[in-house]
Amino acid sequence: MNTPYFTKERVERKWYVVDCTDQVLGRCAANIAKLLIGKTEPTYQPGQDTGAFVVAINADKIRVTGSKLKQKVYYRHSGYPGGIKAATLQERMDKNSREVIRDAVKGMLPHNKIGARLITKLKVYDGDNHPTALRGQPVSRQNN
């Protein structure tokens, strides 16, 4: 008996729509990462991409607990001396709430080539409407 090896052609990809309205950021990101990795599927194998496509809607309506909006700080560095930049979660949510969800999910994926491929299957939108609904894909709704 051989262990099945799933290639791009042999994996059946599903599409999920996750509604982020009034969901906590970390829990929502963990559920999205689980769908992207494919841990909910019986064909899951750690070294292979067997996950689904995920469309996250209402990213601007996500919530956080406690006082993270003012206290959680994201840092980035340009690589030059004195080039460190800081932004609070509130500033990032006001500027682009889609990137906050994307970065939270990306941190929960494997940090290798497979993780880089998985994050491309995540589509995040601010409102209810999204262009992937127009493609005629069969979609499953996830309201965790």
Q: What are the tens digits of pLDDT across the range 52-77?
A: 999 999 999 999 999 999 999 999 99
Q: How many CB atoms lie within 10 A of CB 114?
A: 16
pLDDT exceeds cutoff 70 at 103: yes
**Cα 90 to Cα 62, 69, 95, 96, distances in angstroms:** 12, 5, 9, 10
Let me know if residue 32 belongs to a domain.
yes
Let me know if residue 79 belongs to a domain.
no
Let me know if residue 73 belongs to a domain.
no
> How many structural domains comprise the chain?
1
For the chain, first and last CA: distance in Å?
A: 37
Domain of 30 in residue numbering reads as 15-65+97-142
Let me know if residue 39 belongs to a domain.
yes
> pLDDT band at 139, cuts 50/70/90?
low
Q: How many CA within 13 A on the CB side of residue 3?
A: 6
